[in-house]
Amino acid sequence: METRWGVVVGLVTIASLVLGRPSPGLAQENDTCLMCHSSRQMFQNNPRADSLVVDAERLAGSVHGRLSCVNCHQDLVDSEFPHAPELERPNCAVCHSGVNRVYEESVHGYALSRGNPRAPTCEECHGGHNVLPSSDPRSPTHKVRLPNTCARCHGTAGLLTDQLVKLPQSFTAYAESVHGQGAERGIATAASCSDCHGVHDLKGSVDPTSRINPANVARTCGQCHPDIQLEYDRSIHGRALETGVRDSPTCTDCHGEHLILSPEDPDARTSAAHQAVETCGRCHNDPIIISKYNLEGGVVGSYVDSYHGWVTRRGGRAAATCVSCHTAHLVLPEEDPLSTINPANLAETCGRCHKDADYKFASSYTHETTSITTNPINRVIRSFYIVVIIVVIGLMVLHNLVIMNYFMVERRKEEDHSPWVMRFDKSQIVQHLLTTIAFIVLVVTGFALRFPEAWWVEGLTELGMTETVRADLHRIFAVVMIVTAIYHMYYIFLTDRGRVEFRSIVPSWRDIRQAYDNLRYYTWQSDRKVKFERYDYTQKAEYWALIWGTILMIITGLILWFPQLAVKVFPAWIVPAAQTVHYYEAWLATLAIVVWHFFFVIFHPEEYPMSWTWLTGRMSESSVKRHHAGWYEEMKEGGGAGSGSGDTMATAERYAPAQDDEEATR
């Protein structure tokens, strides 16, 4: 580096002796500076090479091409050669004092005065040695190129203030808007950054003099949309804002600030599908706004729950939206004679879609007539049908429950007086009951946390299941599930009966073959029914899924219960990962029970309306023959002693003939 500076000093010294001291105002004397500053090689290792190296042609073609270097770098006027390595930043205010005063009052100038290194300067927007007029398409301040210039700070990387406040990523939204798309295609009339924010006088929206202050937004947009501005100014929204009602919406409240899309775009705020709830509903569905200004309540709900609302929510474009009746910009109250919803104009408004519409037709479909709250006829009809639905459907349910109960009791009687096999012992029945109760409570209390606004959760809350009660119930029955799981481990490994059951339910390759043959039978590919053993492949799959799911839910549940302890042992990501696993495993388990388990024990044609085995432990001989013919044959061959694999259940309990004396049978 020292050698390179020696060369620079030597060249500058020779140049000063030959050419003499540069004279301000003589542009040709720039050659003295360019002897060094036109050579990129001389500054190749300097991090500021881009600003130190000057292209002579670009400099000559800039707006400052007729000036001498010392006109901007004035600390060189009385400087000896070689000059100091570090020069002061050029002061543009020397020539552009008026613009500088405006800049100093802008948000950029304010940030610079506070010492914020992120504040943009003249050079960062206009360039250094190649400053071009904004009318030049090559200029970074040209209307079409300006968004990309602003994007250097307001792009996808975002921007922080000196107070570490994040500013919006404006460019990303602008680029997707109708304005940004127009600028991208080179349409000079498309709105650019300076059209809305100003050139040097950029100010925040809270500044009363700012172009983007709510009180001034309509005038700003009116530069390109004058007709719409006139309509807005005459509307109730424009009048209210002019009066000083800051809650009144302006252009950006409905269309957005930078992401302004065509109403035909399904993602636009002003599209039919989003208009009522997301745009107009921001004010007309806000209880605070409604109460504050005594607005008519329920208008959004009455529209959404109407034919028009149903169609638009499904993406239909033929049905009327808010602007179809109230207009888009010239929104006037009903009392205004010029309003499209004034009684004198209502028939004409409806006639835009409904030919031959008269006042009587128009008055049949308003917010008041379609609303349950404000229309007494609708209110009476609703009350009538609520009573009818409760009574009629309730009697239907009661009627069907009586019939279902009859068949359940009759099946129980039939099984009591028929040969039966002891399928489960008392310990298994208790384990199943505890698991069932714990599972149901855990599912209800778990999903109640995840979906607090669901109707059934709100109903349980009304019955007293507050968040505290819900949380306590969830933890209590989690403990019940854990204790039951621990006892089950003891049962299958340390009791004779448990070991027999466990060996019977261990999967084997034979299960895959039986599953294949079973599906062939039920698709009429084979006329041979599979003879399943003690447990078939569906029961084995469900059992091992239960084991896996229980272990997973216990582990993740404990991590969520005691996160402070968990992160001392595991990485920090374990807690959010456990929450995700816990949630989706709950969905998997719940759906598996409903779709798989309930089918085989309730909805299966041979079991409906319910198998009593889970409560009595017994299984009828006929049921064993149908579902577990292999097991039945093993018991017959073994004389009722089971499969010969160490099963110690009593013969009388496993296979008992039907007798009139029930005690003798047992």
Q: What is the pLDDT of residues 379-398, one digit of tens each?
A: 898 899 999 999 999 999 99
Please give the pLDDT value at position 357: 86
Q: How confident is the model at residue 443 (pLDDT cuts 50, 70, 90)?
A: very high
Q: Which residue has the higher pLDDT, 480 or 39?
A: 480
Residue 15 pLDDT > 50, yes or no?
no
Q: Can you state the angle between helices 496-505 and 467-494, rounded to 10 degrees?
A: 100
| Residue 542 maps to a domain | yes
Please give the pLDDT value at position 609: 85
Task: Indicate the SS3 state at residue 216.
Answer: helix
φ/ψ of 111, rounded to 5, equals -65, -40
The answer to whether the bond into 263 is cis (omega within 30° of 0) is: no
* Least confidently predicted of 241-250, 413-422, 457-466: 413-422
Q: How far apart are CA 503 and CA 643, in angstroms?
A: 11
Please give the pLDDT value at position 13: 39
Q: Can you list the positions of beta strands (E) in 132-258?
A: 159-160, 166-167
Nearest to 310 by CA among 260, 359, 349, 272: 272
Q: Which helix (H) or strand (E) holds 422?
A: strand 420-422
Average pLDDT over residues 476-488: 97
Residue 483 pLDDT > 80, yes or no?
yes
Task: Spell out the residues 6+ positions from residue 83 whose beta carbon is closer than 8 angstroms to its own.
Answer: 12, 76
| Residue 327 maps to a domain | no
Categorise residue 164: left if φ over 0, alpha if ψ from -120 to 50, beta otherwise: left
Residue with tokens 């009327």, as numbered in its chain: 320
Residue with tokens 């949380």, as numbered in its chain: 471
Q: Which residue has the higher pLDDT, 221 or 649?
A: 221
pLDDT digits (tens, 9 = 90+) for 325-373: 999 999 999 999 999 999 999 899 998 888 888 888 888 888 888 777 7
Residue type, 307: Y
Residue 432 pLDDT > 70, yes or no?
yes
- Please say which residue of 89, 112, 141 terminates a domain: 89
Q: How confident is the model at residue 45 (pLDDT cuts 50, 70, 90)?
A: confident
| Residue 308 maps to a domain | no
φ/ψ of 421, rounded to 5, equals -125, 140
Q: Specify whether the CB–CB gap between 212 and 197 falls below 8 A.
A: yes
- Please say which residue of 89, 111, 138 terminates a domain: 89
Q: How confident is the model at residue 44 (pLDDT cuts 50, 70, 90)?
A: confident
Q: Specify whether the CB–CB gap between 153 and 146 falls below 8 A.
A: no
Residue 508 pLDDT > 70, yes or no?
yes
Q: State the CATH number of the domain containing residue 634.
A: 1.20.950.20
pTM as predicted: 0.69
Tokens representing residue 466 in the block: 């507050």
Domain that holds residue 470: 418-665
Vertex 205, ends 200 and 208: CA angle to 5°?
85
Handedness of CA 533, 538, 543, 545 (dihedral sign): positive
Q: How confident is the model at residue 157 (pLDDT cuts 50, 70, 90)?
A: low
Task: Spell out the residues 6+ positions from residue 400 whose beta carbon is closer than 8 angstroms to its own.
Answer: none
pLDDT digits (tens, 9 = 90+) for 297-317: 889 988 988 889 888 888 887
Nearest to 368 by CA among 358, 355, 379: 379
DSSP strand pairing (159-160 vs 618-620)? unpaired
Report the chain's terminal Cα–Cα distance, integer Å.
Answer: 105
Q: How far apart are CA 444 and CA 456, in angstroms?
A: 10
pLDDT digits (tens, 9 = 90+) for 103-112: 999 999 988 8
Tokens representing residue 211 in the block: 């172009």
Average pLDDT over residues 537-554: 95
| Residue 392 maps to a domain | no
DSSP strand pairing (166-167 vs 420-422)? unpaired
Q: How many domains does the chain have?
A: 2
Q: How confident is the model at residue 482 (pLDDT cuts 50, 70, 90)?
A: very high
pLDDT digits (tens, 9 = 90+) for 242-286: 999 999 999 999 999 999 999 999 999 999 989 999 999 999 999
Average pLDDT over residues 89-107: 90
Please give the pLDDT value at position 606: 84
Q: How far apart are CA 269 and CA 256, in angstroms?
A: 8
Q: How far apart are CA 87 and CA 107, in angstroms?
A: 27
Tokens representing residue 527 in the block: 């006329």
Residue with tokens 């606004």, as numbered in its chain: 453
- Please say which residue of 56, 89, 122 terminates a domain: 89
Q: Measured between alpha carbons, how far is residue 86 from residues 33, 41, 49 in Å?
A: 15, 19, 13
Please give the pLDDT value at position 355: 87
DSSP code, position 88: P
Residue 426 pLDDT > 80, yes or no?
yes
Tokens representing residue 568 in the block: 């001392």
Please give the pLDDT value at position 211: 94
Average pLDDT over residues 229-238: 95
| Residue 629 maps to a domain | yes
| Residue 440 maps to a domain | yes
| Residue 256 maps to a domain | no
Tokens representing residue 454 in the block: 């669901």
Nearest to 256 by CA among 241, 269, 272, 245: 269
Please give the pLDDT value at position 602: 87
Q: Measured between alpha carbons, how far is residue 246 from residues 122, 235, 250, 387 in Å?
A: 35, 15, 9, 46
Highest mean pLDDT among 227-236, 399-408, 633-642: 227-236
Output the DSSP codes for 320-376: --HHHHH-SS----TTSTT-TTSTTTHHHHHHTTSTT--HHHHTTSSHHHH-TTT-H
Per residue in 306-335, is it b (16+ CB within 10 Å) or e — as a string? Answer: bebbebbeeeeeebbbbbbbbbbbbbbeee
φ/ψ of 637, rounded to 5, equals -65, -35
Tokens representing residue 22 in the block: 């540069």
Handedness of CA 142, 148, 152, 158 (dihedral sign): positive
Please give the pLDDT value at position 23: 45
Please give the pLDDT value at position 648: 32
Per residue in 137-174, is it b (16+ CB within 10 Å) or e — as a string? Answer: eebbbbbbbbbebbbebbbeeeeeeeeeeeeebbbbbb
pLDDT digits (tens, 9 = 90+) for 581-613: 999 999 999 999 999 999 998 888 888 888 888
Tokens representing residue 405 in the block: 């109960």
| Residue 209 maps to a domain | no
User: Considering the chain, what is the average pLDDT of its residues?
Assistant: 86
Q: Specify whether the CB–CB gap between 613 and 461 falls below 8 A.
A: no
Task: Indicate the SS3 state at residue 213.
Answer: coil
Tokens representing residue 243 in the block: 């009066």
Please give the pLDDT value at position 639: 58
Q: CB neighbours (10 Å) of residue 541?
A: 16
Please give the pLDDT value at position 363: 83
Residue 68 pLDDT > 70, yes or no?
yes
Residue 203 pLDDT > 70, yes or no?
yes
**Exposure of 341 by Cβ count < 10 A (0-12 exposed, 13-18 middle, 19+ buried)?**
buried
